[in-house]
Structure 1
Amino acid sequence: MLLSMTGINKSFGDVRVLTDASLAVEPGETMALIGQNGAGKSTLIKILTGAYAHDTGRIEFQGKEVRFGSTAESQAGGIATIYQEINLAPNRTVAENIFLGREPRRFGLVDRARMQADAATVLRRFKLDIDVNRPLQDFEAATRQMVAIARGVTQNARLLILDEPTSSLDEREVAVLFETIRTLKADGVAAIFISHRLDELFAICDRVTIMRDGRTVAVSPMKDISKVELVRTMLGKELAAFTAKKRAHGDNEGAALVGVENLGAGVRVRDVSFNIGRGEIAGLAGLLGAGRTETARLIYAADRKERGTVKVDGRESNYIAPADAIADGMGFVSEDRKIEGIVPEMSVRENMTLAILPKLQKAGIIDKAAQRAIVEKYIAALGIKCSSPEQPIRELSGGNQQKVLLARWLCMNPRLLIVDEPTRGIDVGAKAEILKLLRSLADEGLSVLMISSELEELIAAADHVTVLSDGLSVRRLASEEITEANLLSAMAHQEVPA
């Protein structure tokens, strides 16, 4: 066994992020590591590479127990990580990037001739014949990936960690990368392959490790697991009995508030179409990387669409920026609350009422009583746990931070609320309460676009669901069709490549 991680536990404060997690890789094996956002993949890898220290558990690498204290130690120990965003110096030459910090020297000076010759030699192993004296930025993404891998190989890496390595590559470039992985495999170099593209996992990986909620829930040879079973295991089934009641009269397509037609931008959103009726919850489903969040951002004008139309009240929206969408009655609870949601230094009160401040002002002075009433209302309604409205939001748990963000938009009384993973990091009881709240708001006329990885949430609350796969809307499920079997089938609709 090349790598063995067993009984790995990790907490940040009171939040447990890994519970008895495990990962094992054989020499020359390509191991897929998959799971939805928050499953624990990144934390496990950061522990392996020395970015985090684990609380308990054991890590063995090349037959010895290890506990790397930094990423530099793990690199020196034989582990190289190639991230989605290549962490190299674009202005330096290819050769300089491969040997950065380890340049061969002669008489105390960098031996550039040897460095260039060695760089060319290692790249030819991967069938890459390029001018290693040119700046890295001159080359396409696939070549930069190869340079990053070559850097790891020259460090005598026995294990490569490839984190979403194909996200910015086209089909030809993916083929080059896979051929490189196979070349290294023949030399006994193993790889941990992290990707949301299931077809690629079946094409290149020997086994798969599936994580969910900080635990390793399954390990299987790729040949022994179907795509549907893989999806089912990754998503899990843990929410049993939501009681959010759907619309008695079904879909409301005839009174669409928002119509999305052939929407596209780049490779993440290729062709998406669906409607959001007035006073209904429209679900958007799909695996990580299917294009759910990217679609919502296009509707909200957080990103610029390249193709298709977004119609509001039957007219093309033509929003230029999110401010236009907000002015037109849209709210967006982002999945990434740390980057796009909270202002960490501000209080719960300030964060919750940030978007509504103009409405709370009279002659330039904030109506403190009205502000306080709104904050107290939503703290109670959502069960936000805080010592007081003045507590800095950074001190709250992730789930409570998410509740504050939900309240921020609800207090604006929007007509469309986009909620991206609205219950992530929230306990099961609070999840049910939030779904009930969204349902009651929809019954009062609010339109909701709900993006969720939790199948039970969609089954319980959505009036209809559009399933996305690889940037395409592949199936629309009406209320009576929203079942676990139908959702899983739609999400895994593509055939596994031979």
Structure 2
Amino acid sequence: MTDTILRMSGITKTFPGVKALQDVDIEVRRGEIHAICGENGAGKSTLMKVLSGVYPHGTYEGAIEFEGQPCNFSGIRDSEHRGIVIIHQELALASNLSIAENIFLGNERSKRGWINWNETNAAADELLRRVGLDEKAVTPVVELGVGKQQLVEIAKALSKDVKLLILDEPTAALNDDDSAHLLNLLRGLRDEGITCVIISHKLNEVMGISDRVTILRDGRTIWTNDIENLTEDKIISGMVGRDLEHRYPEHEPTIGDEVLRIEDWTVYSPTQPDRALVRKANLTLRRGEIVGLAGLMGAGRTELAMSVFGRSYGVNISGRLIKDGKEIHVRSVREAIDHGIAYATEDRKRYGLNLIEDIKRNVSAAGLTKLAKGGWVDGNEEFKVANEFRDSMNIKAPDVGAIVGKLSGGNQQKVVLSKWIFTDPDILILDEPTRGIDVGAKYEIYTIINRLADEGKAVLVISSELPELLGICDRIYTLSAGRITGEVPRAGATQESLMTLMTKEEQEVAP
């Protein structure tokens, strides 16, 4: 008989005006890696918050059994006491504390009210070795990258004698190497008998690591299946409720004249002014064209984009920007917008949106001058504009007064795009436009990008996903160590050829 460690039956969770979960059933076997997949807003994170006590017993309907015993958790401490630990997508570490202090925060090694620091640091060092993190326990968390912080979170979970580890989008913000290390660690934990539930949009990772997959759609369980019976296409079909014959919409470009030329663009680090992050970069954008920019982490993609967008990153910037045949000087974000340049950041939560404001205020934020009358913003016009974008961008929200922080990732990204499209740019730079959103929402974003190109805008897409660049771009530049190493038309590009150009050694690209 299969050893079921977790059974959730008939779980229903309602928020004001929204039924987030409806009669959800899920069973997880002991010692497996169980993936939960679904579009943004399908209820994945809500289900795990119900399980972990973030939403306590009494605020939902249904039953939870763990190791054969009913669970009525009133908070996270209750679930952790039973061995259920959740690691949220937004990491919850105290950056000003050490690794050891974070691992044992709330679970201190103390005697008679005094913390035994020798015991604490020694225990933390052992946990760090277990997760493969080569750092001292006394190292401040602020000195760690996101990948290492994820490992600290897992070490913290292991310190609580975890039996069921829940990870919500654990690799969303990680580079390829950190992602591979984390996934290997999860395989090792499975071999030790620890059960893992992973929520992920990265279907290649789901296929590579999971034993079984459960699909949620619109707050309901669609099916659970063993991984050997699945393909990525079958998972996508379950998530979106239809077959996606093509991951990328068909598009016939109409490419016009050159709209922007970047010449000999060089950018230095603001913290290390003698270190060049971008070196003599040259690229062109034409009206109606979608151009890709590919490069490994640290290659200088974002630094190039932000420095062009009103010198919003970097120091000692040199080079020329030529728009419509005339040199322009862009010394601030305001001047960039005035010259028809827009930049949608890769970190929408931190830099792209005001999460505590509504859709209306976010959409109008970059183009308030278009709404001003006598120095005052016309509220009626602002409302009208936001509604038009809500309809044209298919933003799923009850009205434009909805708080942006409560929207799904895909809908947040549509608000970011709306904000910049409202400025009516000629050049739109999109930095990781589909990061952290599901395949259905990605398809909608691709359709929007195609529409922008059809309107005559030049679109520069920065992406870590090479299939995405190959699927939507007309032409692709590659960047390595801050230098443009290649320019390839989509028809002549492959993942292998792009990776070769992206990994050129320093001496190969030196002048």
Q: 1:415 — aligned with what?
A: 426
Number of aligned residues: 452
Where does 1:441-452 land on structure 2 (aligned, <5 Å)? 445=456
Is 1:10 paired with 2:21?
no
Match of 1:194 in 2: 199
Matching residue's letter, 2:49: K
- Quickly say closer, same or farther: Cα 1:137–1:36, change in 2 above 3 A: same
The aligned counterpart of 1:162 is 167
- 1:325 pairs with one of 336, 342, 361: 336
Report whether the alignment pairs 1:47 with 2:50.
Answer: yes
Give the Cα–Cα distance (whole angstroms) in 2 for the partners of residues 259 and 143 of structure 1: 36
Partner SS for 1:358: helix
What is the aligned partner in structure 2 of residue 109 from structure 1?
Answer: 114
User: Which whole-Å deviations, capped at 9, do the CAs of 1:117-172 have from their partners, x for residues lacking one?
Assistant: 44445555556686545555566766554443233223221111233444566666
The 2-side partners of 1:475 and 1:215 are apart by 44
Q: Is the 1:261–1:274 contact (alpha carbons within 8 Å) kept by the matching residues of 2?
A: no
- Alignment correspondent of 2:242: 237
Equivalent residue number for residue 482 of structure 2: none
Distance 1:123 1:303, change over 3 A: same
Distance verdict in 2 for CA 1:150–1:254, change over 3 Å: same
User: Scaled by the length of structure 2, what TM-score is found?
Assistant: 0.61
**1:100 maps to what in 2?**
105
1:188-245 residue CA offsets vs partner (Å, 9 max, x unmatched): 21112334444443443322334444444443333332344445544553899xxx99
Q: Percent identity?
A: 31
Using the size of structure 1 for normalisation, the TM-score is 0.63
Out of 25, 29, 41, the position equivalent to 1:26 is 29
Are the counterparts in 1 of residues 52 and 79 from structure 2 also a CA contact under 8 Å?
A: yes
Aligned mates of 2:185, 2:449 — CA distance in 1: 51
* Conserved 8 A contact 1:126-1:183: no
Does the 8 A contact of 1:357 with 1:366 survive in 2?
no
Q: Distance in 2 between matches of 1:408 and 1:104?
A: 50
CA shift at 1:336, angstroms?
8.7
Compare 328-337 and 396-405 and name the one that shifted more: 396-405
Note the 1:34-433 alignment, pairs <5 A: 34-52=37-55, 55-84=60-89, 86-123=91-128, 125-126=130-131, 131-133=136-138, 135=140, 144-166=149-171, 176-237=181-242, 250-252=253-255, 277-278=286-287, 280=288, 282=290, 304=313, 313=323, 322-331=333-342, 340-341=352-353, 348=360, 354-359=365-370, 365-366=375-376, 372=380, 376=384, 379=387, 394=403, 412-416=423-427
Cα distance in 2 between the residues matched to 1:358 and 1:373? 12
1:29 to partner: Cα distance: 0.9
Separation in structure 1 between the aligned mates of residue 28 and residue 330 of structure 2, nearest angstrom: 49
Distance, in Å, in 1 between the alignment partners of 2:337 and 2:284 is: 19
Cα distance in 1, alignment partners of residues 344 and 267 from structure 2: 22
Report the Cα distance in structure 1 between the residues aligned to 2:41 and 2:263, rounded to whole angstroms.
29
Identify which range, 32-41 or 333-342, moves more after superposition.
333-342
- Deviation per CA, 1:315-342: give whole Å up to 9, x if none: 8988665434311224567899876346
Matched to 1:32, the amino acid is: A
Tell me, what secondary structure is at the counterpart of 2:53? coil
Question: Which range moved further: 28-37 or 86-95?
Answer: 86-95
Cα gap change, 1:358 to 1:185, in 2 (>3 Å): closer
TM-aligned CA deviation for residue 446 of structure 1: 5.3
Which segment is superposed worse, 172-181 or 99-108? 172-181
Query: For the structure 1 residues 437 and 283, does the alpha-carbon distance in structure 2 shift closer, same or farther, using more than 3 Å as the test?
Result: closer
Q: Which residue of 2 aligns with 1:458?
A: none
Task: Find the residue that maps to 1:208 and give its secondary structure.
Answer: strand
Describe the SS at the equivalent of 2:107.
coil
- Say if 2:127 and 2:155, in contact at 8 Å, map to a contact too: yes
Select between 334-343 and 90-99 the one with higher mean Cα deviation.
Answer: 334-343
User: Is the 1:393–1:401 contact (alpha carbons within 8 Å) kept by the matching residues of 2?
Assistant: no
Q: RMSD over aligned Cα, in angstroms? A: 6.2
Secondary structure in 1 aligned to 2:27?
strand
Q: After the TM superposition, which of the residue ranges 205-214 and 165-174 deviates more from structure 2?
A: 165-174
Give the match's secondary structure for 2:108.
coil
Farther off after superposition, 212-221 or 155-164? 212-221
Please, which moves more after superposition, 337-346 or 220-229? Answer: 337-346
Structure 2: distance between partners of 1:115 and 1:40: 38
Q: Is the 8 A contact 1:10 1:56 kept in 2?
A: yes
Q: Deviations over 1:84-107 (max 9, x none)?
A: 554334554444433332233334
Deviation at 1:78, TM superposition (A): 1.2
Once residues 407 and 477 of structure 2 are traced to their aligned partners in structure 1, the CA distance between those partners, rounded to angstroms, is 27
- Give the direction of change, closer, same or farther, for the CA distance of 1:294–1:49 in structure 2 (3 Å limit): farther
Distance 1:252 1:110, change over 3 A: closer
**Separation in 2, partners of 1:353, 1:129:** 46
CA contact (8 A) 2:37 2:213 kept: yes
- In structure 2, relative to structure 1, the CA distance for the partners of 1:356 and 1:71 (3 Å cut) is same
Partner of 1:38: helix, strand, or coil? Answer: coil
Call closer, same or farther: CA 1:446–1:217 in 2, change over 3 Å.
same
Gaps of 5+ in 2: 270-277, 464-471, 479-485, 500-511
Cα distance between partner residues in 2 of 1:95 and 1:393: 40
Contact 1:297 1:303 in 2 (8 A): no
Q: In the superposition, relative to structure 1, how do residues 29 and 317 fare at CA in structure 2: closer, same or farther (>3 Å)?
A: farther
